[in-house]
Each structure stands twice: as C-alpha cells, then as structure tokens.
C-alpha cells in the first residue's frame, strides 16, 4: 500500500511539473539580425526591379517622352525571381498584353491629354501621364504591385510549413523596412531609409510611439522572438503573424484615406487651377492603385473581401470589370467628391479607425515633422 502511495505521489509530481506554466516570451527592445542582407537577396532583387520599372514608367510624365512597352515588359518579367513571378495571376493579367496597363502607359506616352475627352490614347496632363479615361497607369503599376506582388510574396512566405528567423527577415524586407526601423523614408535622415509600404507606414505615423509604423515594428520583433524561442511559443508566433497582416492592411487602407482626403481638399477649393487638377487626378490614381492591388490576395490574409474591394472600386469610378471614368472627379467634382467621402467612411468602419485616426490620415507626418 505504501509503495502504491509513493508511485501515486511520483506521478502527481511529474504531472504538476508537466503542467507548469511556461515562461512569458522574452521580447527584445530592438530587431536584431546579423544575417539580414544574406537572408534577403530574393526580396532585394524584386525591390530593385520594382524601382527600375517605376522609374521607367515615370519617364512618361515628361511631355513628348516616349516609353517603350517592351522595355516595361522586360523589367516586369525578367530576373530571378521576377516581379511577375511573385504577382497574383489576376493582377498579372491586368499588366501584361495588348490593351492592359503596361501597353496603355506606353501608348499614352508622348501625347497630351484633355480630361473628359475619352477618345484617343490619353497622354500627359500637368506633370502626370493618364490614359484616355483619366486613370494614371503608373500608379496601377507602382502602388498596385505593393499589394499584388509585395504583400502577395509576404503571404507566400507566411504560408511556408516551417518559419525561421530568416523568414521574418524576408517579410521585413518585402514590406520595405530594415532592422534599423528608422521611421523615415528620407535619404540622409537614416542609413537604411524605409521604402515601399514601410515608407507609407512612416507617413501615417505621428512618431509618438503608438502609431502604425511602431506597431508594425513591434509585431516583427515579437514574431522573430517567438520563432527563435521554439514550438512552445507557436501561439505567440501566430498572433504576431495575424497582427502583421492586419497592420499592413491598415497602413494600406489609411493611405487610401489619405489620398481621398487630398482629392476632396484640392477639388473643393476655390479657383482650382489645371495644375491642381493634375495633382488631384494623380492622388486619385494612388487611391485606385493601393486598393486594386489587394484584389484576389488570399482571403485568409486580409480583412477586405474582394466583394468589398469591388464595391470601393465602383465608388472610385474604376470598376475592375468596366471602363473607368476617373476624369469625372475633376470635371464634375460637385457630383463626384461625395463618393470619396463614402470610401473614407467605409474603410473607417471596416478597420475600426477612430475619428481622430481618420483625421490624422490627412497628413504626411514625415513631411509635417521634417523627418
């Protein structure tokens, strides 16, 4: 009997030890990666390729400058990996081929454009290149690929069966950041300035330690710590991944709100000049690009459904399945600008932004604070 009692006590002690709570995850105060550069060669390749593609497209902003379609296509499709290889099939279908965005940009280049005249191929208008419907193809390529290529690549990394510290480095790089996390895209203000979506995170962040940029930095640090701590911290790992996905999309949505604010502000002013209209149509193009690029991203990795994105694109006069009427925002602002306010309101509700956050999204805080 005494022997049985001892066995019972031993089993109980073993069970108690096994049930002992694990230590809280130790999260460092900074993101540290000695091998960041070596781990991110693929991401740096496509980052460089996107910059080259956008710079080539920007040549069309100059009156009379011709942009060659094959040059654009080469920059998009070549390389190991190529931008095309990490882009959603849907968005690739909108970029490549006759009548799609790369070819439309090339065809409009060298010409002039009059908003509201939908015949012809479009052209340059007050410093920006538009198609005949007033949509800026450059933004569909540039900002659209922030979602369709770069976030899509991040999703592919997140879906790997085994995540490592190197995986986190790769997600940080395709987001556009560096372990320094300087919270500025300004060359000269940081050794490794933010680019791509990290640039826009900095713009949306008041640098008070609570904004979207700081939140994203914190989520990356936590994710790396959880992965390095082992399987006991898979719950913390998964929570950090979910936070990264949500915050990334919030940055995107906040930036759409920013540009909607900009168009409303410019086109509501008294004595709007042609230069103002060009700026407004450019800001509007940014809205469409940032939003459209998230269409068909894996639904498990985003909050906005494709149905909701489609409805927002309709409000933006740029439905995914019909001819856009982008020009109307500058030719008929009295009847069109309310649509942009509806976009703001719907994004506010979807992401539970506060009224103050939506107001703060009016500003580029990097410019406001000179950082």
| pLDDT tens digits for range 60-85 | 999 999 999 999 999 999 999 999 99
* Residues 173 and 40 sit within 8 Å (Cβ to Cβ): yes
Say yes or no to pLDDT of 187 above 70. yes
**Residue 6 placed within a domain:** no
**Residue 3 placed within a domain:** no
**Residue 144 placed within a domain:** yes
pLDDT of residue 4: 45
**Residue 10 placed within a domain:** no
- The number of folded domains in the chain is 1
Say yes or no to pLDDT of 36 above 90. yes
pLDDT of residue 73: 98
Overall average pLDDT of the 228-237 stretch: 98
- Calculate the average pLDDT of the chain: 95
Say yes or no to pLDDT of 14 above 50. no
Q: Which domain holds residue 36?
A: 25-369
Cis-peptide, bond into residue 81, ω within 30° of zero? yes
Beta strands in 14-119 (DSSP E): none
**Residue 240 placed within a domain:** yes
DSSP symbol at 25: P
Say yes or no to pLDDT of 51 above 50. yes
pLDDT of residue 18: 46
**Residue 4 placed within a domain:** no
**Residue 40 placed within a domain:** yes
pLDDT of residue 20: 53
**Residue 146 placed within a domain:** yes
pLDDT of residue 22: 83
Overall average pLDDT of the 201-228 stretch: 98
C-alpha 330/C-alpha 81 separation (Å) is 40
Q: Which of 17-31, 33-47, 146-160, 297-311 has the lowest mean pLDDT?
A: 17-31
C-alpha 27/C-alpha 77 separation (Å) is 40
Say yes or no to pLDDT of 9 above 90. no
For 108, 169, 351, the CA distances from 354, given in Å and listed in that order, are: 41, 31, 9
Percent of the chain with pLDDT over 90: 94
Q: At 19, is the pLDDT very low, low, confident or very high (cuts 50, 70, 90)? A: very low
Say yes or no to pLDDT of 25 above 50. yes
Sole residue written with tokens 């849907």:
90
């Amino acid at each position: 009997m005494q022997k049985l009692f001892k066995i019972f006590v031993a089993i109980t002690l073993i069970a108690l030890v096994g049930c002992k709570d694990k230590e809280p995850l130790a999260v460092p105060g900074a993101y540290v990666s000695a091998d960041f550069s070596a781990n991110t060669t693929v991401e740096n390749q496509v980052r460089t390729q996107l910059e080259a593609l956008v710079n080539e497209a920007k040549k069309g902003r100059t009156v009379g400058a011709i942009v060659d379609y094959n040059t654009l296509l080469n920059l998009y499709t070549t390389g190991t990996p190529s931008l095309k290889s990490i882009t959603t099939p849907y968005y690739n279908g909108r970029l490549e081929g006759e009548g799609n965005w790369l070819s439309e940009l090339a065809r409009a280049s060298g010409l002039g454009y009059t908003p509201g005249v939908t015949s012809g191929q479009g052209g340059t208008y007050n410093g920006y290149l538009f198609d005949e419907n007033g949509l800026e193809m450059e933004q569909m390529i540039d900002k659209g690929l922030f979602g369709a290529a770069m976030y899509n690549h991040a999703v592919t990394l997140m879906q790997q069966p085994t995540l490592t510290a190197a995986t986190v480095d790769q997600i940080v790089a395709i987001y556009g950041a560096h372990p320094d996390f300087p919270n500025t895209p300004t060359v000269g203000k940081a050794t490794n300035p933010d680019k791509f979506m990290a640039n826009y995170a900095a713009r949306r962040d008041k640098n008070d330690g609570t904004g979207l940029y700081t939140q994203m930095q914190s989520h990356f640090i936590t994710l790396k710590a959880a992965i390095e701590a082992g399987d006991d911290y898979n719950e913390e790992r998964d929570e950090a991944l979910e936070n990264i996905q949500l915050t990334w999309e919030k940055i995107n949505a906040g930036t759409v709100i920013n540009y909607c604010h900009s168009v409303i502000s410019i086109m509501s002013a008294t004595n709007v000049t042609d230069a103002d209209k060009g700026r407004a149509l450019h800001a509007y193009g940014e809205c469409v690009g940032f939003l459209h690029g998230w269409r068909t991203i894996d639904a498990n990795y985003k909050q906005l459904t494709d149905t909701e994105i489609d409805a927002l694109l309709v409000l933006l006069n740029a439905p995914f399945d019909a001819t856009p009427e982008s020009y109307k925002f500058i030719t008929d602002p009295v009847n069109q600008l309310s649509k942009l306010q509806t976009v703001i309101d719907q994004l506010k509700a979807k992401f539970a932004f506060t009224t103050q956050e939506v107001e703060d999204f009016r500003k580029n805080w990097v410019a406001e604070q000179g950082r």
